[in-house]
């Protein structure tokens, strides 16, 4: 039986959004593996982490020291020990080239929008990803689009795979409908500049004017930023935008299920977990035409152009989707148990194809 140490630093950052969700979901399903033991490193050494927190010792430093200590012990004892880093970070070590490690690279947003990242953070990511590209670790990209971005800046990795993110979106019992027959768009993600909320609000206004939807529901952080933009809208549209903030998971799934469509007009994504959740539940998608959206949702979504597209085209798409009820082709591939299995296969030497392929 192999042991996997899961370096769950990302769990400390509650603003990490989709990265945090993916990390927690992946860990939960990796721990269900019958033939391997997966342990968060913070759970293996709770006293050390508590002491480091009291003494204000950097978690980066502590995990680097622990990583090297674990590797040295495995070399001495012959223990089959692997390390999983779910968020870019690969600690420095004098003990070889990390062949016993798995590193997940989500996206290179800081390269596309450097103005939203401090210089220190950009330098750290450059250093970390440059080292990752030259290591012998298994590097996992969450989409082919993300892999292409990485290779454009850092070159090819010796051992790389594409494994789509785990998507956990089960159907839940519907709630009582406050307004019977109400048609609404759902935008379920935190406020960030690349999410293009201005484009979403403009698209909603066009669709409302055409009689395709009645309201727009937004969830996540950033209510004040969204409200500032909403205040500039025409009164008849402004009153139909509802920012619900952070909602419980079951409530979010119900919002997905009852929506006329999910909308995301992001200018950049590494995967788009929210869109994948909506697609898993069979909800129509209105998406920006960016590479990763084409990669994941080409035969499922409606791609919105810069002018919002013809309302008649949108109406036909929504009517066809409601009638045909198409299934998202990657739903099975992104089932959390299947994703966890692919990660474990990396170290069993049996992942012979790109991990995202069914």
pLDDT of residue 352: 37
pTM for this model (two decimals) = 0.92
Burial class from Cβ neighbours inside 10 Å (0-12, 13-18, 19+) for residue 69 reads exposed
pLDDT of residue 58: 86
pLDDT of residue 66: 95
pLDDT of residue 356: 43
pLDDT of residue 174: 79
pLDDT of residue 358: 39
**Dist. CA 7–CA 84, nearest whole Å:** 6
Q: What is the pLDDT along the chain (358 residues), one digit of tens a residue?
A: 899 999 986 555 554 567 888 999 999 999 999 989 999 999 999 999 999 989 998 888 999 999 999 999 999 999 999 999 998 889 999 998 999 999 999 999 999 999 999 999 999 999 999 999 999 999 999 999 999 999 999 999 999 999 999 999 999 987 655 566 789 999 999 999 999 999 999 999 999 999 999 999 999 999 999 999 999 998 889 999 999 999 999 999 999 999 999 999 999 999 999 999 999 999 999 999 999 999 999 999 999 987 767 899 999 999 999 999 999 999 999 999 999 999 999 998 644 333 444 3
pLDDT of residue 177: 55
């Amino acid at each position: 039986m192999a042991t996997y140490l899961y370096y769950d630093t990302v769990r400390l950052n509650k603003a990490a959004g989709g990265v945090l969700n993916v990390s927690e979901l992946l860990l939960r399903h990796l721990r269900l593996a019958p033939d391997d033991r997966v342990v968060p490193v913070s759970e293996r050494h709770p006293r050390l982490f508590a002491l480091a927190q009291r003494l204000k010792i950097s978690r980066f430093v502590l995990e680097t020291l622990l990583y090297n200590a674990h590797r040295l012990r495995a070399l001495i004892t012959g223990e089959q020990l692997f390390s999983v880093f779910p968020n870019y970070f690969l600690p420095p070590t004098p003990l070889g080239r990390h062949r016993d490690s798995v590193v997940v690279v989500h996206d290179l947003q800081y390269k596309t929008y450097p103005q939203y990242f401090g210089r220190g953070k950009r330098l750290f990511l450059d250093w970390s990803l440059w080292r990752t590209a030259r290591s012998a670790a298994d590097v996992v990209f969450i989409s082919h689009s993300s892999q292409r971005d990485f290779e454009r800046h850092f070159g090819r990795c010796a051992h790389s795979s594409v494994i789509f993110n785990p998507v956990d979106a089960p159907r839940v019992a519907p709630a009582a409908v406050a307004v019977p027959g109400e048609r609404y768009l759902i935008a379920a993600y935190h406020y960030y500049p690349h999410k293009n909320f201005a484009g979403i609000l403009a698209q909603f206004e066009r669709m409302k004017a055409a009689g395709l939807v009645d309201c727009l529901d937004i969830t996540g952080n950033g209510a004040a930023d969204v409200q500032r933009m909403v205040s500039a809208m025409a009164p008849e549209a402004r009153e139909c935008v509802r920012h619900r903030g952070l909602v419980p998971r079951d409530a979010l799934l119900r919002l997905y299920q009852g929506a006329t469509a999910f909308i995301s007009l992001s200018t950049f994504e590494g995967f788009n977990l929210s869109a994948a959740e909506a697609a898993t539940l069979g909800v129509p998608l209105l998406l920006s035409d960016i590479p990763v959206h084409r990669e994941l949702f080409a035969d499922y979504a409606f791609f919105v152009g810069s002018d919002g597209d013809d309302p008649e085209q949108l109406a036909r798409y929504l009517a066809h989707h409601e009638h045909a009820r198409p299934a998202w082709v990657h739903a099975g591939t992104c089932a959390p148990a299947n994703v966890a299995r692919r990660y474990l296969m990396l170290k069993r030497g049996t992942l012979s194809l790109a991990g995202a392929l069914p």
